[in-house]
Structure 1
Amino acid sequence: MRQYIEKILSFFWPEVCPFCQKACKKGICDTCRKRLESIRIKEPRCMRCGKQIRSMEKEYCYDCLHTHHYYDRGISLWLHREPVNQSIYQFKYHNQRRYGTIYAQEILYWYKDVIVSWHPDVIMPVPLHFRRKRKRGYNQARILAELIGTGTGIAVDSRHLIRRKYTNPQKILGHRQRKKNLKNAFAVKKDFVPVKTVLLIDDIYTTGSTIDAAAYVLKQRGVVNVYFLTISIGQGY
């Protein structure tokens, strides 16, 4: 019965490439695969945010040299450019939850060993405020976190880190405004039992303000190491 239902669903909603929306049974079409390879983050990387840098002699990007971060280190898969930016927009705002499966598969292909080497005790998705989640219907970071948790065998904690402040969308703000916007935005529930290492999952890293704000409250509650992983990373500020 399940197979029959899946065949009917695939007829009305065929599998499509999440980057060009053309029918594609293998996930990512060949054309988009080539485009994605050109914007995949490669070495040399910033030793803090994971952004690609030009020189092997440098350890940190310009942003990280001029900003104090509360997180320890992070990585992202692609630059936040076409066709990734529009794909994430659909994933985030237009109920394309199935795109998360493709993103997770790519992340695990390239970064599973890195994730495991960080020895995270739990994976935590960056939470949405309940008003925004109610409007959207889901948290895209949680979808991604649960898929990565399944692929690595690492427990996912989507309950203890909460967003207690309803904030303006970060994308409309400058660097300083982003930090101010996120001040006291996150909290950790009282029954949280501190662990040594947490891996935060989100969709996009721009200036790091969101990850920093979440990392700060976790470390205030006894977490020693906070790493992050995102689908894409912007150009900074």
Structure 2
Amino acid sequence: MIDSHAHIYAEEFEHDRDEVVQRAKDIGIKKILLPNIDLNSIKPMLATEAAYPDTCHSMMGLHPCYVNDNIEQDLEVIKAWFDKHNFIAVGEIGIDLYWDKTFQAEQEFAFREQLKWAKELALPVVIHTRDSIDQTLDILSQEQDGSLSGVFHCFGGSIEQAKAINQLGFHLGIGGVSTFKNGGMDKVIPELNLDYIILETDCPYLAPTPHRGKRNEPAFMQLVAQRIADLKEMPLEQVCAITDRNTEKLFQLK
């Protein structure tokens, strides 16, 4: 399995990161993909990648929750990193209308700007869409010229939204929310096209049941894969094989 979205560089893992990576390997996770958040996360993210070079691969982007009125300067710093390091994606980018809509216009500007980078660099994008799937789809439909690819990370939307995302050529990142009793994904996942699904944890957040409310980690992704297998009425090995293939292709992993 591949954990396509994990923040194991976060301070929540400072005291036991080696053990966390080892537990992931022990249950068959071969790659852990690291999305950037803001200017302060770059250094710990790259240090984590350097510590586990065969396992961890970094992305570069500005998360919408860290967009403010200093957006142009922040984007300039973020973009400069693409000349210094090989990243597998532009991410984590997008729109978040859950916490605060003060900088919605700036978020949309940052999103479009980073989509432009993805086109120029021929890289996929990893998109954060909390309370903003429809707004994001609207922008993507304008920006999609056939060259954009990527994933709606932490997907928790409707079947109709999933189909619209797939029609634009984008994948769905399925994580711990799929295991929540009242998450609603039990009705959605059986209808999803498995060829557009990739697995993720978003650790340390959104730990799957029965670990909900605790620190999430890549090893818990096995519970997500099993949940999809149960809802799809498919063997776990088949779910893992297909989602692995999807992730390797999307991020051009070798």
User: Normalised by the size of structure 2, how large is the TM-score?
Assistant: 0.33
| Greater Rg over alpha carbons, structure | 1
Which protein is richer in helix relative to its size? 2
Which structure has more relative contact order (CA 8 Å, sep 6+)? It is 1
User: Normalised by the size of structure 1, how large is the TM-score?
Assistant: 0.34
